[in-house]
Structure 1
């Protein structure tokens, strides 16, 4: 099986969870410690484990997109 089929299987089976930025950073730190990863080292299933500090997301959040869509809907 290739990565694509495994990715698709994980998407269909895994239940999503919602984390704040702080919760995500804490989880990444715990994973790095548990997996005994060196700084900058990532592992399969945890691509963000290689970051000491998470990269900043430049895309707007879903809430911002929803707010903008509602604002445009009110203009019509």
Structure 2
């Protein structure tokens, strides 16, 4: 098991929610940023079943966040997926 990957996933799980919901000023890191980080984890290594489930759960949480806070397409941030 790769503990570096576990630590990365745990960090995202810990920091993603506060960054998405932010404070009174709103979100300070968009869902596209977190989605890109999760895709990087998926692309870099073979994950255990538990790691895959956690990443999937975080991606589903981002989907729900996006549905609840939908911005018009012209205002949504566009990040490039790193390969």
TM bucket normalised to smaller: under 0.3
TM-score by length of 2: 0.24
Query: Which has a greater percent of helix?
Result: 2
